[in-house]
Amino acid sequence: MQKICLVRGAGDIATGTIQKLVRAGFKCVVTEVSNPSSIRRKVSLSEAVYEKKTVVEDIEAVLCENLDEIGQYLERYNPVIIIDPKLTILNKMKFDVVVDAILAKKNTGLKKEMADITIGLGPGFEAGVDCDIVIETMRGHDLARIIEQGFAKKNTSIPGIIDGFSNERVIYSDFDGQFTHIKSISDIVNKEEIIAKVGDNYIRATLDGVIRGMIRDNFEVKKGLKIIDIDPRYEEVENCFTISDKARAIGGAVLEAIMMLENRREKDAK
């Protein structure tokens, strides 16, 4: 019988995990909030919340607007997205695997008893206590490492270095207000060029590069929210439309962790 996974979150990192699970033969139900704030929107299945349906590479996600119809949707679609930030779906369905992929940097509700296998991505979860496995999400030597006891590395709030740039790559809003696009994802921009607005305030590019991510047009932004991602590798525009190395590595680790635990438990049962 086909196993069913619940994945919490459908941002760009979660999408890498969802792709691995779907390709490996799992059915996936994915929960989201009603107003996702993903900036790497071209590679985030969370866009289905707004568009009802979205495609990232070979994965098509469809929004199910009625929890009572989730079973019918799963017969036709994989993955299925539902708006359910409080995970009420757990009261209606049993899942073989639960993956918390919202990257909140803290545990906002994951418990080991939610499923046979529970996995948390990034800091905030204690492997062996909150969940069975934690996956390291920080770039570097330990990226995608499977942790069976303890925690992932603490969040540094410093973006990973790409072509020598770190903090400059990510723009956070200094204002509250409605976000307005002036440039779009995949546009090549120059440092100090005006690329967007929050309310009446102009947002300028922080370096030369390609806009890899940008929050949705007309999104109501709060001060401090991540709104734009600029990649200094402006010659690699296609990266805007494909799942990243980081997301694919983490997704592969999730799949490996599931297989590892299932094999171990099967041996222990003999």
Q: What is the set of domains in the chain, with CATH numbers?
A: 4-155+245-269 (3.40.50), 167-232 (2.40.50.100)
% the chain with pLDDT above 90: 88
Which range (1-5, 129-133, 161-165) has the least confidence? 161-165
Cα separation values, 148 from 121, 151, 152, 161, 261, Å: 12, 9, 10, 27, 10
Strands of the sheet containing 220-221, edge to edge, are 201-204, 194-198, 177-181, 220-221
Local confidence band at 160 (pLDDT 50, 70, 90 cut-offs):
confident
**Other Cβ atoms closer than 10 A to 108:** 13
Dig out the tokens for 264 from the structure. Answer: 């171990």
pLDDT of residue 249 exceeding 80, the answer is yes
Q: What is the mean pLDDT of residues 85-93?
A: 94
Dig out the tokens for 20 from the structure. Answer: 């691995």
pLDDT of residue 163 exceeding 90, the answer is no
Backbone phi and psi for residue 51, each to the nearest 5 degrees, phi listed first = -100, -5
pLDDT of residue 39 exceeding 90, the answer is yes
Beta-strand pair 80-83/59-63: parallel
Distance CA 251, CA 26 (A): 13
pLDDT of residue 12 exceeding 90, the answer is yes
pLDDT given at position 67: 85
pLDDT of residue 157 exceeding 80, the answer is no
Chain centroid to Cα 110, Å, comes to 16
pLDDT given at position 194: 98
Nearest to 5 by CA among 38, 34, 31: 31
Which residues fall within 8 angstroms of residue 85, CB to CB, at 6 or more apart? Answer: 31, 32, 33, 34
pLDDT of residue 23 exceeding 80, the answer is yes
Which residues fall within 8 angstroms of residue 127, CB to CB, at 6 or more apart? Answer: 120, 133, 134, 147, 148, 149, 150, 151
